[in-house]
Amino acid sequence: MKPTFLIGFMGSGKTTIAQLLADDFVDLDTVIVDKIGMSISDFFETFGEAKFRELETETLKNLSKTNQIISTGGGIVMSEENRRFLKDADVNVIYLEGDFDELYERILADKENIRPVAMSHTREALFDIYQHRVDLYDSIATHKIHVTGKTPEEIVKEIQL
């Protein structure tokens, strides 16, 4: 199987689905956290978002050489370099597409993941970011699965690689 990247907005279930698809899945954010030795929100606070995006690009490029199922952070599509890389590589890119209302509820309910991009914006501002990103996810996806109202098991069944 080709390397398979899961993309989508925060709260769309990328890590959960990757976990169900393969025991040896890799979560890009976890690789970054292991590398930097601090949480993503602490890193944002100390070094800023731009530095995080640099690390994200570097990690993305390294991972695509080795691993089969990779969940990415919701902002991976913000960089043109990342989009070009994923589009040109011979990989599957699965976009987990969800309605904003549901994603927002999940982000708020998730006490384990402190997401600096969500924390630093109002609901309205986050909706603008969502709308902007939706087109970017679409532009690089090889597969698209609508996730709203579905269980992780239902979503996995729909993923045909």
Determine, following the binding rule CB under 6 A, whether residue 75 of this chain makes contact with ligand S3P: yes
Burial class (CB in 10 A: 0-12, 13-18, 19+), 40: buried
For the segment 1-20, give every residue that binds ligand S3P (CB under 6 A). 10, 14
DSSP reduced 3-state for 74: coil
Q: Between 111 and 160, whose beta carbon lies closer to ligand S3P? A: 111
- Of residues 26-45, those binding ligand S3P (CB under 6 A): 29, 40
Phi-psi region of 23 (alpha: psi -120 to 50; beta: other; left: phi over 0): alpha
**140 vs 149: CA distance, rounded Å:** 24
Residues 6+ apart with CB under 8 A from 78: 53, 133, 136
Near ligand S3P by CB under 6 A: residue from 117, 126, 136, 145: 117
Q: Which is nearer to ligand S3P, 116 or 159 (CB)?
A: 116
Which residues form the interface with ligand S3P (CB under 6 A)?
Answer: 10, 14, 29, 40, 73-75, 113, 115-117
